[in-house]
Chains A and B, each alone.
Chain A
Amino acid sequence: MEAVYELLKAVSKEHFMENMVSIPLIQPVIDNLLNIPLVGYVVALILWKPMFALLIFPGLLTLMTVLLFIIWFERKLTARIQWRRGPLEILRWAGGIIQALADGLRYFFQEVIVHRDAHKPYFIQLPILIFIPVLLPLLFIPAGSIVGIKTPYALPVVVAIVSLIPVFIVAIGWASNSRFAYVGTIREAFMYFAYEIPFILSVVAMILVYGTADMTAIVEKQTIPGIILNPVAALVFFISTIMATSRLPFEIPEADQEIAFGPFVEYSGIMFGLVMTIAYEKMYILALLMSVLFLGGGNGFPIPLLGDLAPVIWMFLKTMAVMVALAFLRSIYARFRLDQALRLSWTTMLKISAVAVLIGAALNIAQVA
C-alpha cells in the first residue's frame, strides 16, 4: 500500500511541479495551462526538468533541429566558400533551410534494399540499435539546472557510452558483408583505437583540473573556461572529436571516393538516412561535451526573463559554435591517409595529451578551479 502510494506520488503532477523549468517570460501562460486538467498534467510532465532534458534540450527536439540545421548549414557554408549558393530553390526566401527535411523524407519513402549476402537480422537492427549509445549520453549532460540523470559519475558514463558507437559501426560493416564495407570497418577499428586514448586522456586532464567528474559541478567551477585553463587538452579533445566523428581531414572510415562510404556502402533508403546521421549525432554529443568541459557549459550572462532557459540558450550557442567549426573544416582540408592519421594520433597526439594530463595534475595541485 505504501509502495503504491509512493508510486502515485512519483507520477503526480505536484511531484513534477516541484522540479519544473521556470520561464518567467511565459509563466502566466504556463500557470493557466497547468490549471486545465489533462493538458496541465502533460505540460507539467514536459517541463519537469529530467523530462525536459530528455525531450527538449539537450534531448530529442534539439537533436532533430540540430540535425536538420547542421546538415543544411554545412552544405550552405561549404557552398559559400566554394563561390556558389548551395540548397536554395526549395524555400527561396529562407535560403532553402528545409533541404535536409526533403532529403529525410525522400529517404523515408525510398525502398530499403537488403542484399543477398547481408546478415539480415543484424543488417536491419543495428542502425536502430545504434541509437541507444547515441541518445543515452544526452541524459547526463546538464544545461544549468536542467539535467536528466544527475550523478557524480556523469562524465565517465558519457565517455564510456560514446565509446560504444564505433563497436556498432564495426558490427554494421560486418553485417553488410561487402568488400568496401570490410575495408571501411577495419579503418574504423584502427581509427577507434587511435583517437580513443588521447580523447580519454584529455577528459581525464579536465577531471583533474576540476577535481570532480560531476558535470554540473564542472560547469559551476568554470569561472574561467576550461579552454583557457588547459588549452592543450582542448586541442586534443577537438582533434579527437574530428577523428571520432570522421570529419575531414580525418574522414577515413567513410571516405566516399576511396571506399564508397565504407561500412555504410550497402544501406539504402531510411536505413542509410539513419546511419548517415550517426556521425552528426555523435558530433552533437561531443560538441555538447566540449562546451561543458571547455567552454563553461550553460554559464553566461543570466537573462532574468528566460529563467532556466538562459543556460540552455548559452549552451546551445556554444555547442553550435563547436559544430560550425567542425563543419568548416570540410571545405578546407583534404583527407589524410589512414597510416598518416594513425601516426599522428599514436605519436603527436599521445604526447600532447600526456602534456595535457600533466597540466591538469599541476592545476589540481594548485587548486585553480
Chain B
Amino acid sequence: MSDNIEFLNSGPLAPFKKWGTKWSLWPVHLVTACCGVELAHAYASGYDGERLGSLNYGISRQTNLIIVEGAISRKMARVLRITYEQMPDPKFVIVMGACGLKGGIFWNGYHMVRPSDVVPVDLFIPGCPPTPESLLRAIRSLQEKIMSGEAKNTIEFREFDLSSVEGRSCPALPPTTPKVIAPTPAIKVDVEREVEWSFGKKLVKRFEKELEGLYDSIKITGKNRIAISTDRKRVVKIAQILSAEFDHVKNVNVIDVPHERSFIVEYHISSYSVRELMPVVVNIFAKIPRDDPKFPSLMTYWQSADYLEREMYDFFGVVFEGNPAMGEKFLLAPDTPDFPLRKDRKIRDECYCMEVKE
C-alpha cells in the first residue's frame, strides 16, 4: 500500500498529481473564529480566491485544505482534529491569524489550544486578522510548496525606526505602568450616585412600597440604573412582583469575592412592554456564601435567564436551583478545568517586553 502511495508521489504520474492538487485547493467549510470574516472576503467578489482554482466547498470528505481561522478553543480542537482525519490525502492546513500562531490576544485564555498542537500545519499567516491579500498569498505559497516540496517564508518584515515615524510627536512606549491588583478590595455593586432623574426617584419610592420587607436597600446607582439589595431567600418573591412589568433579564452576573468568602449574584432586569421603563435597568443582587453556592433560578419568571444562568454555572459553579440543565457543561468543553472564572483559578500573567535603558 505504501509502495503505491510512494509511486504516486514520485513516480511518472507525480507531476500530474502535483499539478492537479496545486490548482485545486478546496478549503473545507470549517469556521473556527473571527478571521472567518476576512476569509469570506478573500473568496467573495472583492478578492475572488476562485481565480487561483480554490473553491470554498462543503464538507471534509470532498476537500483537501483546512484554513484554520484564528483561535481554536478546546471544544473546537476536537472538531478540527476530526475534520482533519475525515479528509482524504493529500491534505493541507493553513493557519490564519495571530491566535492560531501563538495564541495572539487570547494567548493565556483557559479555553485556548494552539492549532499546531492538534494538526500538522503547512503555513501560518500572521495578522489579527490577516487581510484577504495575505490569505491569497498563503494559498499561492502553498501551491509553490506543493510543486517544490518545501515551504518558505514569503515575507521579510522591514525594520522601521518607530521614533521617526511621521506625525508621532514622542516615542511610543510599551505600558510603563505595572498592573496594580488590590489583594483584598471591597466590592460593592450599589454605590449610590446623585443624578438628575426624577422618574427614578419616583420609581424607587414605588419599589420601596411594593417590595416592603423584601429588600435590604434600594439605591439609584446612576442614570436609569437602580440596584436592589436582597438575599437569596427573598429574591424569588421580588422576582414574582417585578416580573409583572419587567419582562426580561438583561444580564445574570456572578462576582467572586474570595476574601469575603462570598459570591454576589446579580440579575439585571428591564422591560420591553412598558415604554417608560424601557431604559431602566434594575439590578437585583444578593450575596451568597462561597462554600454553599446555591441560588434559586428565576427562570420561572424570566425565560430569558435560562442560558445566562447555565453560563454562570459553567463559569463559577453557582447552582441555580430550578434550572433543569444544572450540572452540565454548556459553553465550555468537558475537559476544561471546572469554574474557570473563580478568582482562585489563576491564568498565566501578561508580561511585557521592555527595553531597558543603559
Contact = CB atoms under 8 A, between A and B. Distances in A.
- In the complex they form, whether A and B have CB atoms below 8 Å apart is answered with yes
Interface of A: 75, 79, 82-90, 96, 99, 101-113, 256, 260-261, 265-269, 272
B48 A256 contact: no
Contact of A85 (B8, B16, B23, B48): B48
Contacts of B13: 109
A107 B26 CA distance: 11
Contact of A104 (B20, B59, B87): B20
Interface of B: 8, 13, 16-17, 19-24, 44-45, 48, 50-53, 55, 58-59, 61-62, 64, 86-90
A358 to B, nearest CB: 43
B12 to A, nearest CB: 13
Contacts of B59: 256, 260-261, 265
A269 B88 CA distance: 7
5 contacts: A79-B50, A83-B45, A103-B23, A105-B16, A110-B88
- List the 8 closest A-B pairs by CB distance, nearest first: A105-B20, A111-B88, A106-B24, A102-B23, A106-B20, A84-B48, A109-B17, A268-B61
A107 B59 CA distance: 15
Contact of A103 (B16, B20, B90): B20
A280 B88 CA distance: 24
Contacts of A112: 88
Nearest to B22: A102
Contacts of B24: 102-103, 105-107
B281 to A, nearest CB: 39
B344 to A, nearest CB: 43
A109 B16 contact: yes
A261 B58 CA distance: 8
B58 A84 contact: no
A39 B62 CA distance: 42
A203 B59 CA distance: 38
Contacts of B87: 268
Contacts of A266: 61
Contacts of B86: 113
A41 B23 CA distance: 40
Contacts of B58: 256, 260-261
Contacts of B55: 75
Given A84-B45, A111-B89, A113-B88, A105 B19 contact: yes
B145 to A, nearest CB: 15
B62 A267 contact: yes
Given A83-B45, A111-B88, A106 B50 contact: no
A366 B103 CA distance: 79
B16 A89 contact: no
Contacts of B17: 105, 109
B6 to A, nearest CB: 13
B20 A102 contact: yes
Given A109-B8, A110-B88, A268-B62, A102 B19 contact: yes
B64 A86 contact: no
Contact of B53 (A96, A109, A265): A96
B61 A90 contact: no
B61 A113 contact: yes
